[in-house]
Amino acid sequence: MYLNQKDGWIEVICGPMFAGKTEELLRRVKRLEYAKKNIVVFKPLIDDRYSDNEVVSHNNNRTKSVNITETIQIFDYIDSKTDVVVIDEIQFLDEEAVLICEYLASQGIRVIVSGLDKDFRGEPFSFMPDLLAMAEYVTKLTAICVLCGKPATRTQRIVNGKPARYIDPIVLIGAEESYEARCRSCHKVYRKPKPYKNRIKNK
Ligand code: TTP
Ligand code: MG
């Protein structure tokens, strides 16, 4: 170990909606602020639910953030003094995010990101599997299933009171749809293909 060595790494906080991913991200940011680290927080512009230049959790905790539409813009806001790069809702960025997180970590930067591991269909969310594979540390949070109270690992999308259709768009932040945390058995997707249906004998 060298003196003054600057170690970089990637940590990912993932899970379904309502798991407290943003809350956990903000907790880590707060600790690093107390330690006087040089931190830059980013979020994709696509999510404008709360505020334009802040990351806000359900508990109303918040921190200043920079809106970006493309991952490459990160380089406009960091310099040699940056210790930590933080990105909330990373699943909405372009897939260059994986290479850029790798590069930042290789340059001694601590990269802390949070994002959905699965989309409303219960399938991997865009480049998240690659990012999870590259990360040194992964925290997979669960929520609570609104139907049965068991740990929820999935996000149920509901449109007009019914489970969303498999063919619906992955990215949807509008007024008609709503989301719930659900466990594997309570999670429903209208017309999701079931390739191995009835393949287990006597079940
Ligand atoms: P999140 O920050 O993951 O949701 P959250 O704030 O409830 O979770 P947490 O407390 O863990 O931070 O935001 C997810 C966003 O993604 C939300 O705006 C809805 C959207 N979304 C899609 O566009 N497509 C999908 O398939 C799913 C599951 C969510
Ligand atoms: Mg969140």
Q: Is the pLDDT of residue 13 over 70?
A: yes
Instruction: Please provide residue 71's backbone torsions phi and psi, each rounded to the nearest 5 degrees.
Output: -60, -35
Q: What is the pLDDT of residue 51?
A: 52
Helix (H, G, I), strand (E, B) or coil at 100: helix
Tell me which ligand sits closest to the C-alpha of residue 58: 1
Within 8 A by CB and 6+ apart from 129, the residues are none
Average pLDDT over residues 125-143: 98
How remote is the CA of residue 197 from the centroid of ligand 2, in Å? 34
Judge whether 26 and 54 are in contact, CB under 8 Å.
no
pTM of the model: 0.94
* Ligand 1 atom with least separation from CA of 25: 12
How remote is the CA of residue 200 from the centroid of ligand 2, in Å? 38
Judge whether 154 and 118 are in contact, CB under 8 Å.
yes
Q: What is the pLDDT of residue 174?
A: 67
Q: Is the pLDDT of residue 132 over 60?
A: yes
Please tell me the least confidently modeled range out of 87-96, 109-118, 157-166, 172-181.
172-181
The strand pair at 84-87 and 110-116 is best described as parallel
Q: Is the pLDDT of residue 6 over 80?
A: no
Set out the domains of the chain in order of their start, with CATH numbers.
5-142 (3.40.50.300)
Between CA 128 and CA 110 the distance in angstroms is 18
Ligand 1 binding pocket mutation candidate from 50, 116, 180 (most atoms within 8 A of CB): 116
Tens digits of residue pLDDT in 83-109: 999 999 999 999 999 999 999 999 999
